[in-house]
Chains A and B, each alone.
Chain A
Amino acid sequence: MGKKQYLLYMVQIHTNFRLAELESLADLFNLDIDFSKYDANSPFFFLELDNDEQARQWIKRSILTKAIYEYWGHGQTLDSLHDTIKQTPGFQERCKQFKNSSFKFEFENYQGGKKKDMATKVKQMESFKYLEFEGKIDLKNPQEIYTLIEEYAPAFGKAAPTVPLSYIFGRFVGSSDRSAMERYDLKKRPYKGTTSFEAELSLVSANIAQVKPGTLMYDPFAGTGSFLTAGGHFGALVIGSDIDGRMIRGKGANTDIKSNFRFYQESEKFLDVLTMDFTHNALRSNLVLDTILCDPPYGIRESIKILGARDPERFAGKEDIVIDGQKAFLRKDYIPTKKPYSLDSLLDDLLRYSAARLPIGGRLAFWMPTANDENVETIIPLHSNLELKYNCVQEFNKWSRRLLVYINRGDSFKGPTNGGQKRSPSNFRERYFTHFTK
């Protein structure tokens, strides 16, 4: 069977992440998609697929798209749209295939255009009479939905354009998972904190990391569990750890990470959160972790710390202290001391750990902030077993953060490495608090 033409209608937000999401989902479902016509500046992507099932599967978990349509036609005016609809190969067959299906029409505007009144809608619908649909019009439960998308030029000043740049017409095939953004909105989440990661980009991260149903996902810097939540949404069993027990404990039985999962009715996806120093890891070393997804601490709110004494001499012999007949360090209320650690070393550890624990083809995805200095090159950490697949930047005013995504290729990959080197040019925390003026 020949390929069919489809139209993907995308959102014009986080376009630095959009292609990575679409490619990752295509790869996840083994779909061979030609991205050569993809344009980061356009909300429309015209492409070919084998069938509707492929289209639905590809887009159903996407966050940065709206919907996918079977392409029927595209024109600068309504008249030329009708001409292309009639001339597009397969037109007769399509009309015949859906001749008796119940249907309705929907109208979408891309940036601008007025809300249409009923008279205009009816007039536009009537111009499609030549399709000769005989099925009944059903506004509630139609078998098919036909969508007319009007694309407008961006508004300059007060004069918003009233005439569309172009018209696109298609049959609705499947919607994306963009509504998950609302569902996981931090505003509505029972337990969150100052370090919670926004819903939209945490879900996008989980898509690019290819979190899969029935697999194991680990977040070594879980905090309030933002990425665990995103991973659970896409069906993985999630486990998290954090050196800071206060974060993962939450604020009581109904305001913690576990209760967030209960709130989303995904309790079975939540395994546990552990109070643990990632660099002194207690997950058994032969446990395969399918995905590692995290936002490591960058020392903005607190400096980076791991277990151990900053000044070992001061702690010499303290292991012998006894309180009430019990070694102090074995008591339930013992709080171990921590020492500062460098970001470079922490990320080296993260890459080394991922290379050891991920299956071949498994993905590590993490966020890394950088200052937007034009003269300082950002050095991305590299490991010889890991292929750096994506480096997606989100720009803020004076700094930016990037999602780095790696694929474990195993020992034979022998890629470039920069472990053990000093990569970070300056102390991000200090610079953040001095507003990047130094």
Chain B
Amino acid sequence: MKFLTTNFLKCSVQACDTSNDNFPLSYDGSKCQLEQDESIEFNPEFLVNILDRVEWSAILQVAADLGNTSLPPNKPIFEDKNSLNEDDMAILRDLHILLIQTSIVEGEMKCKNCGHTYYIKNSIPNLLLPPHLA
């Protein structure tokens, strides 16, 4: 599961939708095994578009869960999306490595509201629920 996906996933339990603690899920850094796939090509324009969908505070939280506290406190802003300068490219390259190339291969994530645990196996998160939570 790519790091970027952690920015899209909340708890599946419908009752948690009324809480603000169902997103992002909290990741157990000691149990998460990360992998970087360097073969995934860097596409800056594409990444700039996708960044529009990203909630930066959740990126910071999940990165911290996984032991990375070196991210800028605010979401990078690009003045002119059509002509990215060298500084922009350096930032985007770092984001590409974090969001697109890094994935959680094995691991656990938990809802901060209900405490339910979800597993990631072979890079695929399992968001199914037992009947008493469905």
Contacts and interface: CB of A to CB of B under 8 A. Distances in A.
A266 to B, nearest CB: 9
Instruction: Give the secondary structure class of B's interface.
Output: loop
Given A216-B53, A282-B10, A268 B124 contact: no
Interface residues of B, number: 43
A384 to B, nearest CB: 22
A288 B53 contact: yes
B23 interface: yes
A329 B134 CA distance: 12
B130 interface: yes
Interface string A305-320: 0111100100100110
B50 interface: yes
Contacts of A241: 127
A336 B131 contact: yes
Interface in A286-301: 287-288
Given A281-B12, A282-B9, A285-B10, A214 B125 contact: no
Interface of A: 213-216, 235, 237, 239, 241, 243, 245, 248-249, 258, 262, 267-268, 271-277, 280-285, 287-288, 306-309, 312, 315, 318-319, 329-330, 332, 334, 336-337
A241 to B, nearest CB: 8
B11 interface: yes
A169 B73 CA distance: 62
Contact of B125 (A275, A280, A284, A287): A275
Interface stretch (B37-45, B62-70, B83-91): B37-45
A337 B129 CA distance: 9
B49 A214 contact: yes
A248 B37 CA distance: 20
Contact of A336 (B37, B45, B117, B130): B130
B119 A332 contact: yes
Instruction: Give the secondary structure class of A's interface.
Output: mixed
B119 A274 contact: no
Given A307-B131, A336-B129, A274 B124 contact: yes
Interface of B: 1-2, 4-5, 8-14, 17, 23, 37, 39-43, 45-46, 49-50, 53, 55, 100, 116-117, 119, 121-134
A309 B130 CA distance: 9
B119 A282 contact: no
7 contacts: A216-B53, A239-B8, A276-B126, A277-B127, A282-B10, A312-B131, A319-B132
B53 A268 contact: no
B55 to A, nearest CB: 8
Given A239-B5, A285-B17, A267 B131 contact: no
A215 B13 CA distance: 27
B57 to A, nearest CB: 13
Contacts of B130: 318-319, 329, 334, 336-337
B87 to A, nearest CB: 21
Contacts of A332: 119, 121
A268 B12 contact: no
Contacts of B12: 276-277, 280-282
B128 to A, nearest CB: 5
A214 B129 CA distance: 32
A216 B43 CA distance: 15
Contact of B46 (A267, A268, A280, A312): A268
Contact of B10 (A284, A308, A315): A284
B29 to A, nearest CB: 17
Given A237-B50, A268-B46, A284 B128 contact: no
Nearest to B5: A272
A308 B131 contact: yes
Nearest to B54: A287
Contact of A284 (B9, B116, B122): B9
